Amino acid sequence: MAARTYILCPGQGAQAVGMGKDLYESFAVAREVFDRAKQILDWDLASICFNGPEERLNQTDVSQPAIFVASVASFRAALDAGVIDATAIAAYAGLSLGEYTALHLAGVFGFEEGVKLVAARGRHMQQAAVASPSGMVAVLGADEEAVATLCRDAAGGEVLVPANINAPGQIIVSGSSGACGRALAAAEAAGFKAVALKVAGAFHSPLMQPAADRMQAELDRVTFASPTTLVYSNVTASPHTSADSKGRFVELCPGRSLAGLAKRINRRMPIDSAATAESIAQLKQN
């Protein structure tokens, strides 16, 4: 009997030039995913994923559909290779954007609808980011109380809020460009490490409210099905229904960002990767 499997879907920030290229070259099912995305979007997503430029890939209107499509392609490739048993999948979970991938894989909406939704989400968030210069900063080594204090002290009358509690000792703050600059300096002065993230704007902050309002209209037109498999929520960190989380974890393309966060929570948690053709081949050998 195959081990219970949990599928982890990366979010924005995991993108890298070249992602999905070897999957495209090695698996017909992955090629079909990228080629279908090109038809839906009417522009060549694969070319930007495989060849860049990095500056364009990092723009949220590109990176969101790019990560969604790359993740779906790696999932299909892993199924095709037999390293994931569809009947053994216990639940899906995704970081931010990755929850859209998780919901698609769980049957809540189809691939075309998913591509259109994440592309719209990216456009609306890009517009909000351009309208209000902003960013995000990873604060390492601080707890939630310390980060909340840092945000209050560094805001300087601008927006600066804790946005993502990724793992113990890693919290992301989000806000106006000036406030993020002050947060970098304040965090270092307090003895913490701080890193500015390669993102287009202050995601998960009040500066994204215009994007949220526009996205609501996009979501209102979609008919959602009930998930065929459990999906864990970003908001509650709990499944939409009860679940037993013992089993095997597999992270999809791109990268190993979620495995890194999980290790901060539980160093003994084994997480396989299906991000590349090579990693899928290694899983097949095991």
Residue 257 belongs to what H/E stretch? Answer: helix 257-265
Q: What is the tens place of the pLDDT at every residue in 61-119?
A: 999 999 999 999 999 999 999 999 999 999 999 999 999 999 999 999 999 999 999 99
C-alpha–C-alpha distance, residues 282 and 285, integer Å: 5
Q: What is the pTM of this model?
A: 0.88
Nearest to residue 41, comparing CAs of 132, 111, 109? 111
Give me the active site residues, please: 96, 204
For the stretch 21-59, pLDDT in tens is 999 999 999 999 999 999 999 999 999 999 999 999 999
Model pLDDT, residue 113: 98
Between CA 227 and CA 240 the distance in angstroms is 9
pLDDT digits (tens, 9 = 90+) for 202-221: 999 999 999 999 999 999 99
Task: Find out whether 15 and 45 touch, Cβ atoms under 8 Å.
Answer: no
Task: Please report which helix (H) or strand (E) contains residue 14, including its range.
Answer: none
Nearest to 76 by CA among 110, 37, 10, 29: 29
Decide: 170 and 143 in contact? Cβ < 8 Å: no
252's enclosing H/E stretch is strand 248-252
Rounded CA separation 163/65 (Å): 22
- The pLDDT confidence band at residue 284, using thresholds 50, 70 and 90, is confident
Q: Is the C-alpha dihedral spanning 186, 188, 189, 191 positive or negative?
A: positive
State the average pLDDT for the chain.
Answer: 93
Single out the residue of 6, 78, 18, 74 nearest to residue 51, CA to CA. Answer: 18
pLDDT of residue 199: 84
Tokens of 41: 């979007």
